[in-house]
Amino acid sequence: MGDQATAETDRNFMLRLRSREQKLLKKIEDAIERIDNGLFGICDDCGLEIDIRRLEARPVTTLCIECKIQQEDEERLREP
């Protein structure tokens, strides 16, 4: 029984990891596409250049820090 539970936990863990990595992979592919289109480093929302330090820390980001903060604020407001 113990082994079975462990195997199930491992499986769930692997599935979560897989799903997370897949999302990251998609973001990286999107980032490469933006590089090809010359849109890399441009905020999706306001169209301004994203701070280079932010891009260095999170190359897959599509929002400048101001828009990101705004988005997070809106998400927080939507939660009950």
* Residues 64/48, Cβ–Cβ less than 8 Å: yes
Q: Which is nearer to Zn ion, 27 or 54 (CB)?
A: 54
Min dist. Cβ of residue 44 to Zn ion (A) = 7
Q: Which is nearer to Zn ion, 31 or 67 (CB)?
A: 67
Q: Which is nearer to Zn ion, 5 or 52 (CB)?
A: 52
Structure tokens given for 57: 């820390």
How many whole angstroms separate alpha carbon 76 and alpha carbon 80? 9
C-alpha closest to that of 43 among 58, 23, 29: 58
| Residue ranges binding Zn ion (CB under 5 A) | 43, 45-46, 64, 67
